Amino acid sequence: MVVNRENHSHNLGVITAGSLAEGLEMRLDPAYAVEQVRAGKFVVVEGSEFDFFSMITDVCLDASSGAILRDPPRRSSLLDDVLAGDHTYATISLKPMLMLQRGVAGERFDREEHLRPVKSIPVHFSTVREAGKDDVNRVFGEESVTQTRFFNLGAPLDMDNVEVCLDLDRFIERSNGIFGKTGTGKTFLTRLVLAGLIRSHKAVNLIFDMHSEYGWETRAESGPGKDAFVKGLKNLFPGKVLICTLDPDSARQRNVSFDLEVQIPLNEIEVEDIAPLQEELNLHPTAIETAYILRNLFKKNWLKKLLDTDPAEMKEQAEQWGANKESLAALYRKLRAVRDLPFVVDKTETKAEGEITLTASIRRIIEELRGGRHVDLEFGRVSGMLAYLLVANLISRRIHHEWVKDAEKYMATQKLEDRPRPLLITIEEAHKFLNPAAARQTIFGVIARELRKYFVSLLVVDQRPSGIDDEILSQLGTRITALLNDEKDIQAVFTGVSGASALRNVLATLDTKQQALILGHATPMPVVVKTRTYGLDFYRAMGWESKEEKSLRLGRITAGLPE
């Protein structure tokens, strides 16, 4: 923090008022310029018995008398300077988040035991200071100490070399959300979190990669590395990530490899895979009923049968099948879009590599996930919402089914080796799956609600959280939120969070890029971070090395030198 006046002190100010319900008020020390005080900053209030770890939630200008405001001094006049800090001053609102007995430090300190929810407020005139590295480490843990548990996601505001860590153990205990309007860094954040999870071996990931930006290199849109390529998860963890694609041509054009091509034969699409598309396809509920009629008649071939119907004969067919003519025609018209998707094939194809059936692809994916590898499904150029909804739901439904079986087996045997690996499914544009209507039909609604009973949880990435069903939002354990402007979206992010009003301000004042508010299960208190930069330093931290470095290292090993 820059100090604009003399008498620099580390104390930001003193507590002058406050309540448990409304938070604390601090009088800003005149040595600090109000413009340097940022909402979201992490500060420590030193009470007489406890330290209160708090966040700045609001900054407010105040004057000791109304007369000053009625006849304000000229800017930068002597009077202005004389009044500043004493008669015209800033009041800072703080929200205490955690309290810690003073003097508990070093070996004696235990995060779980000593960090307590705030049950009281500090005494009058307690001093407030900026948090230091020690404070942050005590609250959020340290990556270097327990690498597999804590993952450094960024630095607190104004504290560049300090790490705020996510507690990954807790992170995977629930479904989680990453929010923010377009261009604020959701994709980068998601990539960071996924990399942390991959490195920690805490969970396996299945990523529905709508824009093909998680697996291989993608281009950064701005910042110092603008237009440079940033590495994908496959680059960083080549042996641990499996790339699947729906659009092999796109992969070939980008000159990247893939491990598995996924195709969806018509006869493997079930009515339950179509039902969640109602909104996207604008399907009437009666159309779904019609689909069930067809399914009962033709079993696996219901969709092919429908789409092979000659439109001219729709009336006769409807009568013959006992379906409503309008509904049938509508179903036909709308589901043609499904057949038009490039990865949807009429029947199981046999290729040089052997037969590609969906069942086989899914079996492979499941095997890989069970084996601890992570699966990134690229959509290539097939970027439409219809394809994404269809595929994500269809595949997740089948995989979830397997996980349920595994989990039930584990419950029966209770043997540790039968314990399924926690699976985290990443979906983007989550409001399309989890809006109040869709949440009842998609598998994702089920997963979010069953609370990881079957070891499956979600990582939802979305720029419009207000579109997501409230009940689902309130189930999200950890929410990592970049800037949001829309009032409804801001409100949505705080669904089910008590005392959120103070944090709303903080969220609305984030920078447009690379800043996020982390809130919930995986951090002991809400915190604003400058997101860790996804770049060379990060790759290195993940164990990546350049070709030259690698050959150098291998050369040393063969020469019998220390690495």
Partner 1 sequence: MPRGESDHFSIFADGIIIQHVGAVREPPDGVYFHGNSKKMTDAIGEVVNTSTTEIVGQCRRNGRPPAFGSFIQVGVEICRIGVVYNVETTSIDPNRRPSALGLSEEQLQRSYPQLSSLLRSQFQALLIGWLSDNRFVYGLPQTPPSLHAQVQPCRDEVIRCISRDLGFLRLIYASGKSATEDLLLGVCRSIIEAHERKRTEAVRVGKAVSELYRDDYDTLKRFITRLESWL
Ligand X SMILES: Nc1ncnc2c1ncn2[C@@H]1O[C@H](COP(=O)(O)OP(=O)(O)O)[C@@H](O)[C@H]1O
Q: Kindly state the smallest distance separating residue 538's Cβ from ligand X, in Å.
A: 8
Residues of this chain, 428-487, that bind ligand X according to CB under 6 A: none
d(Cα 20, Cα 189) in Å, to the nearest integer? 33
285-298 and 325-339 are packed helices; what angle lies between their axes, rounded to 10 degrees? Answer: 80
User: Encoding tokens for residue 226?
Assistant: 């603008």
Q: Which of 44, 56, 83, 482 binds partner 1 (CB under 8 A)?
A: 83
Q: Where are the alpha helices (DSSP H) in 414-465?
A: 431-434, 443-450
Q: Which of 27, 41, 174, 186 binds ligand X (CB under 6 A)?
A: 186
Which residue, 71 or 548, is less far from partner 1 as judged by CB?
71
Structure tokens at 285: 């509920």
Q: How far is the CB of 15 from partner 1 (least distance, A)?
A: 22
Q: Does 218 bind Mg ion (CB under 5 A)?
A: no
Site string for partner 1, 62-81 (x = CB under 8 A): --xx-xx--x-x---xxx-x
CA neighbor of 111 nearest in space, from 55, 189, 167, 41: 167
| Least Cβ distance, residue 3 to partner 1 (angstroms) | 15
Residue 514 interacting with ligand X (CB under 6 A)? yes
Q: Binding string, 532-551, against ligand X, x = CB under 6 A? A: xxx-----------------
x/- mask, ligand X, residues 194-223, rule CB under 6 A, reads --------------------------xxxx
Q: Token digits for 476?
A: 């999200």
Nearer to ligand X, 214 or 258 (CB): 214
Binding site partner of 184, from ligand X, partner 1, Mg ion, none, Cβ cut-off 5-8 A by kind: ligand X
By the rule CB under 6 A, 513 interacts with ligand X: yes
Q: Which of 82, 105, 228, 437 binds partner 1 (CB under 8 A)?
A: 82
Length of the chain in residues, anyone?
Answer: 563
Greatest distance between any 2 Cα atoms in the chain: 93
Closer to ligand X by Cβ: residue 400 or 532? 532
61 binds, among ligand X, Mg ion, partner 1, none (CB under 5 to 8 A by kind): none
Whichever of 83 and 192 has its CB closer to partner 1, that residue is 83
Q: Dihedral of CA 438/440/442/444: which sign?
A: positive
Beta bridge partners of 438: none
Instruction: Assign 3-state DSSP to the chain and report helix, strand, coil percentages, each to 5.
Output: 40, 25, 35
How many positions of this chain bind ligand X (CB under 6 A)?
A: 18
Structure tokens at 434: 């989890």
Angle CA(474)–CA(214)–CA(273) in degrees, nearest 5?
A: 60
Q: How far is the CB of 5 from partner 1 (least distance, A)?
A: 9
Query: Which 126-185 positions form the footprint of ligand X (CB under 6 A)?
Result: 180, 182-185
Identify residues 175-194 at the interface with Mg ion (CB under 5 A): 187
Specify the stretch interacting with ligand X by CB under 6 A; choose among 74-82, 112-120, 444-452, 528-536.
528-536
Distance CA 331, CA 289 (A): 10
Question: Residue 212 Cβ, how far from Mg ion at the closest point, in Å?
Answer: 11
Q: Where are the beta strands (DSSP E) in 180-293?
A: 204-209, 218-219, 229-230, 241-245, 260-261, 264-265
Binding site partner of 87, from partner 1, Mg ion, ligand X, none, Cβ cut-off 5-8 A by kind: partner 1
Buried b vs exposed e over 368-382: b needs ≥16 C-beta within 10 Å? bbeeebbbbbbbbeb
State how far the alpha carbon of 119 is from the alpha carbons of 112, 295, 453, 487, in Å.
Answer: 16, 59, 32, 30
Residue 188 interacts with which of partner 1, ligand X, Mg ion, none, CB < 5 to 8 Å by class: ligand X
Of residues 218 and 245, the one with the C-beta less far from ligand X? 218
Q: Measured from the CB of residue 511, what is the shortest distance to ligand X in angstroms?
A: 10
CB 163, min distance to ligand X, A:
14
Cα 274 to Cα 344: distance, rounded to the nearest angstrom:
13
Of 81 and 308, nearer to partner 1 (C-beta) is 81
**What letter represents residue 136's amino acid?**
V
Sign of the dihedral defined by the CA atoms of residues 114, 115, 121, 126, in that order: positive
How far apart are alpha carbons 153 and 194 in whole angstroms? 11
How far separated are the first and last CA of the chain, in Å rounded? 42
Say which entry of partner 1, ligand X, Mg ion, none residue 370 contacts (CB below 5 to 8 A, set by partner kind).
Answer: none
* Residue ranges in contact with ligand X by CB under 6 A: 180, 182-188, 220-223, 513-514, 531-534
* Residue ranges in contact with partner 1 by CB under 8 A: 6, 64-65, 67-68, 71, 73, 77-79, 81-83, 86-87
